[in-house]
Structure 1
């Protein structure tokens, strides 16, 4: 996210600093993990070898932000000739149409294709895989620049055959390979649960787990963001009281330890305080948390039936996967049926609904205006499964309430 234009209003500066999309120069409370990742990557770069690093931890614990911070530092060092040049590539499982699309992205990096200048290569996943396999298995990359790949949201790159993840962890182990893969996932035991033995063996080189933040760490994170909002030569603005930050940190730590959550709570409290230029107190934090918990969207989701909640989860998952707001009804049905296998609690039916029953659930959500279903002559001429559906409630609220109601099972399914 680009840095917001500097403002003289301290409330605006603090709100900008507390925004979850901002990228501070320093990340407090993760120095040990940062050092471990940095040492693993630099060791590979210095040795001219490939390597695999598996990073796990629940959302909001600084995994991706830490890797970004390290990547920026290493790129600056390479520019200053402290390291030889290397190519850096990010592959986000939520931002590619299908897992195999990762092959084309990696081939662009391997072949030194300039995407900014010439756009993406028009190459199929199958052809890219052939080229990559030939490249790494013949040792053709021995004299090439090293390539550091961040595979974010690894959970979303899993396939039935697990071939995409296997290949990305296999190629760095081949002779003369200079591919360094940093994989980031939400679950610590994902390799043991869903990967084959041969893939797990590739992960033994380096495994780093990010534990949820404690309340003291969350407080330090907020303090550092507020301090970063200070104008040059002036002390940090006194907009959030110490007690207010502590209350927000304790409340979040007791549930998830998600730094994004505490930042969002504090930012919303500052927005309210900005109206009369007051200082945020503990009562203001409590009011924000109550408002977030008792929003109309939250109240609606809590009274939804099991299959209505599953369909909201399925729609949300497909939207994140496809990267567009409007998605096909057929994709939602398929994801819904996949979820029926593992989301219902013990005692709840896991019998898969028929297409007609799924349509009834969709119509119920549509009648409540929780979703919008494409209508009109053009839509009527297409097959029913191609009709577009859009979420009409706040996605973060859907994530939060469904995960709070369903616990870890729903959190893992939603990828949060």
Structure 2
């Protein structure tokens, strides 16, 4: 069950050899030339984009240590983990200026000051990272950095084009057309960015991903081991997922839940067990409840999920959720949805409705009651993956991109 969990990180990444080689070749060439550039990596969630980039960076670090390629500074910027898109400037400035955030903590300068420093750095002078090295930046969940002005994404696409920048940006996003929406034609033609699109996984590929994890687990164990799930069961799960999304995380989740279901019986999970799990996941009371929610109730849950992913904790201040709700409003409102900012009081009514159904829990007790409302913490009381999946299905592609689900 552990090896089938989506959070497990296997050594090998099956079915992405071609994409791995393309990313590796592109970045290695830029490092050897000592020039800047942008590699734009797109594809729906769960198709191995970030895992492939991580594998490439690991190999390039090893090569740099062996003097097989030029040394580089590496920084990872995840759009889901930033309080505001402009916070990306501070992380990039720390990297190019040689500040060790892991040892000394983050620099205490504003996003505006960081942008000014970066503009000066790339606009003149030596334009390179510490020790004269190139700087490789992984910009993950790029869709999350979109703003009305789109200035953050624009700058990160534009800086690598400047002479001697030595800035290599690996931009990972869920949508293929994001550069077209951000950049003018004149700038796009100057970018010459390398584009690599990850197609959804096919049925045989999804089968291979599950089997490779299980086989890797068996290698460390002794004796004649019983299969935890039958080959036909894996194939059935893979067929179902490939017909809808091709999301590897989805097929792993289905197989893990199936193994969990039959584990007390100490037998191999069969196709009918997989079918039962898929049926429960699709028709659960939670899914029915979520589909019946109002727009602002769904938006509030999406805002809470975003805060949880960004901060890496489950209990979130109510004020932070409110702020994210307002940020999401313009991005996720569809036809017929009100784009008027609700008042704090109106948002409190939305929260009360979710609290009444116990979809969300709020910190309670004597100590909590003495806190200002905005300081009290709220907690999702539903299964996170289920909420993400259903909100994505109901809301459409914009919601899927925001929630990073297929």
TM-score by length of 1: 0.86
Bigger mean CA deviation after superposition, 121-130 or 240-249 = 121-130
Matched length: 402
CA-CA distance at 1:32 after TM superposition:
1.7
Measured against aligned partners, the alpha-carbon deviations of 1:152-183 in whole angstroms (never above 9, x if no partner) come to 01111223322222222222111111110000
Relative to 1, partners in 2 of residues 1:168 and 1:305: Cα closer, same or farther, differing over 3 Å? Answer: closer
**1:167 is matched with which residue: 130, 155, 158?**
155
Instruction: Please tell me whether the aligned partners of residues 54 and 203 of structure 1 are also in contact (alpha carbons under 8 angstroms).
Output: no
Query: What aligned pairs does 1:46-125 form with structure 2 within 5 A after superposition?
Result: 46-125=32-111
**2:228 is matched with which residue: 224, 234, 239?**
239
CA-CA distance at 1:301 after TM superposition:
1.6
Secondary structure of 1:254's aligned partner: helix
Residues of 1 paired with 2:225 and 2:8: CA distance? 18
RMSD, aligned CA: 2.8
Instruction: Please tell me whether the aligned partners of residues 317 and 377 of structure 2 are also in contact (alpha carbons under 8 angstroms).
Output: yes
Q: Say whether residues 1:279 and 2:265 are aligned partners.
A: no
CA-CA distance at 1:71 after TM superposition:
0.7
Instruction: Please tell me whether the aligned partners of residues 143 and 401 of structure 2 are also in contact (alpha carbons under 8 angstroms).
Output: no
**Could you tell me which residue of structure 2 aligns to residue 10 of structure 1?**
none
Residues of 1 paired with 2:170 and 2:53: CA distance? 8
**1:207 is matched with which residue: 195, 199, 207?**
195
Secondary structure of 1:25's aligned partner: coil
Measured against aligned partners, the alpha-carbon deviations of 1:18-61 in whole angstroms (never above 9, x if no partner) come to 22122222222212211111111011011111110111111000
**1:297 is matched with which residue: 259, 273, 286?**
286
Instruction: Please tell me whether the aligned partners of residues 139 and 177 of structure 1 are also in contact (alpha carbons under 8 angstroms).
Output: no
Secondary structure of 2:258's aligned partner: helix
Bigger mean CA deviation after superposition, 366-375 or 180-189 = 366-375
Secondary structure of 2:127's aligned partner: coil
Secondary structure of 1:183's aligned partner: strand
CA-CA distance at 1:280 after TM superposition:
1.7
**Could you tell me which residue of structure 2 aligns to residue 414 of structure 1?**
403
Relative to 1, partners in 2 of residues 1:218 and 1:145: Cα closer, same or farther, differing over 3 Å? Answer: same
Residues of 1 paired with 2:294 and 2:151: CA distance? 37
CA-CA distance at 1:414 after TM superposition:
2.8
Q: Say whether residues 1:148 and 2:148 are aligned partners.
A: no
Relative to 1, partners in 2 of residues 1:90 and 1:348: Cα closer, same or farther, differing over 3 Å? Answer: closer
Residues of 1 paired with 2:334 and 2:115: CA distance? 40
Residues of 2 paired with 1:327 and 1:233: CA distance? 41
**Could you tell me which residue of structure 1 aligns to residue 31 of structure 2?**
45
CA-CA distance at 1:413 after TM superposition:
3.8
**Could you tell me which residue of structure 1 aligns to residue 352 of structure 2?**
363
Measured against aligned partners, the alpha-carbon deviations of 1:355-376 in whole angstroms (never above 9, x if no partner) come to 5443322211111111123456
Measured against aligned partners, the alpha-carbon deviations of 1:100-139 in whole angstroms (never above 9, x if no partner) come to 2222222222122233332322232222222222222224
Instruction: Could you tell me which runs of 5 or more consecutive residues in structure 2 were left unpaired when the two chains were aligned.
Output: none
Bigger mean CA deviation after superposition, 280-289 or 269-278 = 269-278
Instruction: Please tell me whether the aligned partners of residues 85 and 152 of structure 2 are also in contact (alpha carbons under 8 angstroms).
Output: yes
Secondary structure of 2:11's aligned partner: coil
Residues of 1 paired with 2:393 and 2:135: CA distance? 39
Residues of 2 paired with 1:405 and 1:49: CA distance? 44
Q: Say whether residues 1:33 and 2:33 are aligned partners.
A: no
Relative to 1, partners in 2 of residues 1:146 and 1:344: Cα closer, same or farther, differing over 3 Å? Answer: closer
Q: Say whether residues 1:222 and 2:213 are aligned partners.
A: no
Relative to 1, partners in 2 of residues 1:285 and 1:233: Cα closer, same or farther, differing over 3 Å? Answer: closer
CA-CA distance at 1:336 after TM superposition:
4.2
Residues of 2 paired with 1:296 and 1:136: CA distance? 54
Relative to 1, partners in 2 of residues 1:22 and 1:233: Cα closer, same or farther, differing over 3 Å? Answer: closer
Relative to 1, partners in 2 of residues 1:159 and 1:305: Cα closer, same or farther, differing over 3 Å? Answer: closer
Instruction: Could you tell me which runs of 5 or more consecutive residues in structure 1 were left unpaired when the two chains were aligned.
Output: 1-14
Q: Say whether residues 1:188 and 2:176 are aligned partners.
A: yes
Relative to 1, partners in 2 of residues 1:386 and 1:411: Cα closer, same or farther, differing over 3 Å? Answer: same
Residues of 1 paired with 2:125 and 2:248: CA distance? 43
